Amino acid sequence: MLVRHLSYFVALAREQHFARAANACAISQPTLSAAIARLESDLSTPLVRRGRRFEGLTPEGERLLEWARGVVADYERLCGDLQGMRGRV
Partner DNA sequence: TAAAAATACTCCATAGGTATTTTAT
Partner DNA sequence: ATAAAATACCTATGGAGTATTTTTA
* Contacts to a second copy by CB under 8 A: 1-4, 43-45, 59-60, 63-64, 67, 70-71, 74-75, 78-79, 81-82, 85-86
Of 43-51, 60-68, 69-77, 78-86, the segment contacting DNA by CB under 7 A is 43-51
CB 70, min distance to a second copy, A: 7
CB 26, min distance to DNA, A: 7
Please tell me whether residue 35 adopts helix, strand or coil conformation: helix
Residues 9-42: b if buried by 16+ CB within 10 A, e if exposed: bbbbbebeebebbbebbebeeeebbebbeebbee
